[in-house]
Amino acid sequence: MKGKISSFVVAGGKQIELVVQDDQCKPELATNAATKLVSDGAKVVIGHICSGATKAALPIYTEAKVMVISPSATNPELTQSGQYPTFFRTIASDDAQAKLGVDFAIGKLGAKKIAVLHDKGDYGKGYAEFAKKFIEEGGKAQIVLFEGITPGAVDYSAVVQKIRQSGADTVMFGGYHPEASKLVSQIKKKRIEVHFISDDGVKDDTFIKVAGKDAEGVYASGPKDVSGLALNKQAIEAHKAMFGTDPGAFFDSAYAAMLAAVNAVAKAGSTDFDAMAKVMRSEKVDTPVGTIKFDARGDAEGVGFSMYRVQNGKYVEMK
């Protein structure tokens, strides 16, 4: 999990200059990177990758009126608290995922008793807490278990037995694929019949490869499938031509962030924040994640999540 941030400084002849910093997803390094970018005169920052690091760095950008567009920081507070007026993102926030998961569990799967688990991490626990909130507000299902598991523990069977004991028909898990695959295979090993719903951290092909046949039937939410878009294909081709490899995670949304930023600079004709922000909030841009514009809070309209299900060793979008 590297946290590469790039930002650009626009010079006289609309020449974009890239300045790249790495914050390794650590808050203390993120503030260092942010101060460096600000002191180098960056006007637009594409990043940061991790929510925690973004949170740490944002006050610095807010003060310097630097536009920040994150492709991957999904923490809801970043846009909903209103504390960071210069922040935009090209990915939907966590609560949207939890909402989708809960609606799907109750509406489509008819869940009555839900066990909510998380990995005690920032991302996973946030997802779990939102899921809990939506389930309680909806009042159609009850939460029979809400618990954190320890990443790196030698064995999860006690927690898995607890799931059985709680009589849950559905498990919602907030966290990443390493723990998810352990949980799923333990659940299968212990012959427990439950639906397993998780988040974007699990919607990763590695999860299927690690969990193997145990992964069949697992649901995970992830960004809408945009691989059919022409622009998306083009972007991936360009990446392959340039670096000779397949692009990594968040490539689409980072590319989208870059396009939106370039568009804002070009249309505004300057790197003045207010002028750029006006463009961001009013003009639609075609990007690899769809045609987007930003709302007043900085969330992208037109970017969202779909539910995916593992079928024959592949994630398939549920229509």
Partner 1 sequence: MVAREFLKSLGVSLWFMVLTFPLVVVRVNTIENTIQWRWVNLAVVGVGAFVLSALWRWALARRENMQRSADARGGRGALRPWESAAWVRPLGAGLLVIFLAIPWFVSTYQTNILISFFLYVMLGIGLNIVVGVAGLLFLGYAAFYAIGAYAYALLNHYFGWGFWTVLPIGGVLAAVAGVLLAFPVLRLRGDYLAIVTLGFGEIVRLVLENWSALTGGPSGISNIDRPGLFGQEMTVAGTNIYIYYIVFVAAVLTLVVAERLKDSRVGRALQALREDEVACQAMGIDRVTVKLMAFGLGTAWAGFAGVIFAAKTTFINPASFTFFESAIILSIVVLGGMGSNWGVILGAAFLVLLPEYMRAFSEYRMILFAAAMVLMMVFRPQGMIPARSKQYRIVDRELELSGE
Partner 2 sequence: MDVQYFFELFLSGLTRGSIYALIAIGYTMVYGIIELINFAHGEIYMIGAFTGLIVAGILGTMGFPLPAILVLAVLVSMIYCAGYGYTIEKIAYKPLRQAGRLSPLISAIGMSLFLQNYVILVQTSDFVPFPSLIPEFAFLEPIAHIFASSDFLIVVVSAVLMAGLTLFIKYTKMGKAMRATAQNRKMAMLLGVDADRVISVTFIIGSALAAVGGVLIASHVGMVNFAVGFLAGIKAFTAAVLGGIGSLPGAMLGGLFLGLSESFGAGYISSDYEDVFAFSLLVIFLIFRPSGIMGKAKVEKV
User: Using CB under 8 A as the criterion, which residues of the chain lie in contact with partner 2 when the complex forms?
Assistant: 120, 147-150, 152-159, 161-162, 164-165, 178, 181-182, 185, 189-192, 206, 209-212
Number of residues that bind partner 1 (CB under 8 A): 31
190 binds, among partner 1, partner 2, none (CB under 5 to 8 A by kind): partner 2
Smallest Cα–Cα separation from 79: which of 55, 61, 103, 104? 55
Determine how many CB atoms are found less than 10 A away from the CB of residue 11. 11
The nearest distance, CB 295 to partner 1, in angstroms, is 22
Given CA atoms 9, 15, 16, 20 in this order, what sign does their dihedral have? negative
CA 179 to centroid of chain Cα atoms? 18
- By CB under 8 A, the residues from 58 to 117 that bind partner 1 are 59-60, 63-64, 75, 77, 83
The nearest distance, CB 58 to partner 1, in angstroms, is 8
149 binds, among partner 2, partner 1, none (CB under 5 to 8 A by kind): partner 2
Rounded Cα distance between 247 and 315, Å, is 18
The nearest distance, CB 13 to partner 1, in angstroms, is 25
Tokens of 10: 């626009």
38 binds, among partner 1, partner 2, none (CB under 5 to 8 A by kind): partner 1
* Residue 311, CB-side half-sphere exposure with 13 Å CA sphere: 6
Rounded Cα distance between 283 and 11, Å, is 23
63 binds, among partner 2, partner 1, none (CB under 5 to 8 A by kind): partner 1
Determine how many CB atoms are found less than 10 A away from the CB of residue 303. 23
210 binds partner 1 (CB under 8 A): yes
283 binds partner 1 (CB under 8 A): no
Question: For residues 84 and 73, is the Cβ–Cβ distance under 8 A?
Answer: no
The nearest distance, CB 1 to partner 2, in angstroms, is 9
275 binds, among partner 1, partner 2, none (CB under 5 to 8 A by kind): none
Nearer to partner 2, 3 or 288 (CB): 3
Given CA atoms 267, 223, 31, 294 in this order, what sign does their dihedral have? positive
125 binds partner 1 (CB under 8 A): yes
**Which amino acid type is present at position 319?**
K
